[in-house]
Every structure is written in structure tokens, then in C-alpha cells.
Amino acid sequence: MINYHNKCFRVVENTSNGETSTETIFEYKQENEIISCSYGGGKIKTGNLLGTVDASGVINMSYHQINTKGELVFGTCTSKPVIMPNGKIKLLESWQWGSGDLSKGNSTLEEL
């Protein structure tokens, strides 16, 4: 199992209907299969996610965040890890808003 505890990630790509950007930093915590994260930056004032990680490192989570417009928005996401040549983790994410237009999107995060 990949251990995400105390790892930080930055968004490197996101679809246009997403709110995270290259200014958004994610700080992960993990205890056994439970994962949590706080994040912020760019259009996100503050956000949190909570989920589980399986033996292959795939994260299934829900997230909620307050954007710079003051709106509380939420959704779900699955993140699949790829180990890059430098040994750091890249997360390939498929997400869907649970609020607003309920649209889907994809983003990529890389470990700092």
C-alpha cells in the first residue's frame, strides 16, 4: 500500500469545470486505510477530503470546499496513483460535483 501520510501535492492539470489550480496545495494524512486532507489556494479558501485507500494506492473520497465566492461546494473523487521516474507520486483523478451542475472532470496532482 502507498503511504500518503504527510505528503503534499499540487494540481498540474484540471478540466475547466473544476475549481482547483496550480495554486492549490493538498496536505495528506493517513492512518491505515483512512485518508484525510486539507487544501487551499487559488479559487479555494479552504477544503477538506475524507476517504479510503486500497492496497494498490487508489483513493476513493468525498470532498467539500469553500471557494473565493464564499460558496460551499462538494463532490466525490477517485485518485489513481502513478509512480513517476523520480519516485514521487502522480495522482490521476476522476471527480464529480455533488452540488451545482453535477458535472464530471479530471485532474492531475503531483507530489511536491
At 4-59, the pLDDT tens digits run 999 999 999 999 999 999 999 999 999 999 999 999 999 999 999 999 999 999 99
CATH fold of 8-111, please? Answer: Lipocalin (2.40.128)
Q: What is the pLDDT of residues 25-37, one digit of tens each?
A: 999 999 999 999 9
Domain ranges of the chain: 8-111
CB atoms near residue 75 (< 10 Å) = 22
**Distances 91 to 68, 87, 96, 100, 110 between C-alpha atoms, Å:** 25, 13, 16, 25, 6
Long-range contact pairs involving 55-59 (C-beta distance under 8 Å, separation at least 24):
55/1, 56/1, 56/81, 57/1, 57/2, 57/81, 57/89, 59/4, 59/35, 59/91
Q: So what's the pLDDT on residue 58? A: 98
The backbone region for 69, taken as left when phi is positive above 0, alpha when psi lies in -120 to 50, beta otherwise, is alpha
State how far the Cα of 54 lies from the Cα of 58, in Å rounded to an integer.
5
Would you say 25 and 18 are in contact if contact means Cβ atoms under 8 Å apart? no
| pTM of structure | 0.94
